[in-house]
């Protein structure tokens, strides 16, 4: 999974995080860094959010790469 995300480091992404029961948190920011088990998102305010690759596989987290 890390290899699939590596071309997008430094690009704008949107992360939709499922909280369950049709509740979501949405984060817009830049894909900051990739690590063996997690990836980091830096939002517009400078806050760092951390997500695991297992969240992507279980579809708890959904990514959308921004073209702009």
Mind spelling out the 3-state secondary structure of 1-52? CHHHHHHHCCCEEEEEEEEECCEEEEEEEEEEEECCCEEEEEECCCCEEEEE
Q: Is pLDDT larger for residue 2 or for residue 41?
A: 41
> What does the block give as tokens for 26?
């949405």
Round to whole Å and give the CA distance between 12 and 61.
16
Q: Give the other-Cβ count within 10 Å of 24's Cβ.
A: 11
> In this predicted model, what pLDDT tens digit does every residue of 16-60 receive, in sequence order?
999 999 999 999 999 999 999 999 999 989 999 999 999 999 999
Q: What SS3 state is found at 60? A: coil
pLDDT at 57: 94
| Domains of the chain as residue ranges with CATH | 2-65 (2.30.30.100)
pLDDT at 50: 95
Residue 15 has pLDDT above 80, yes or no: yes
């Amino acid at each position: 999974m890390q290899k699939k995300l590596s071309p997008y480091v430094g690009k704008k992404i949107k992360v939709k995080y499922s909280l369950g029961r049709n509740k979501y948190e949405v984060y817009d920011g830049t894909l900051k860094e990739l690590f063996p088990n997690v990836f980091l998102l830096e939002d517009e305010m400078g806050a760092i959010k951390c997500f695991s690759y297992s969240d992507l596989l279980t579809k708890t987290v959904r990514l959308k790469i921004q073209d702009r």
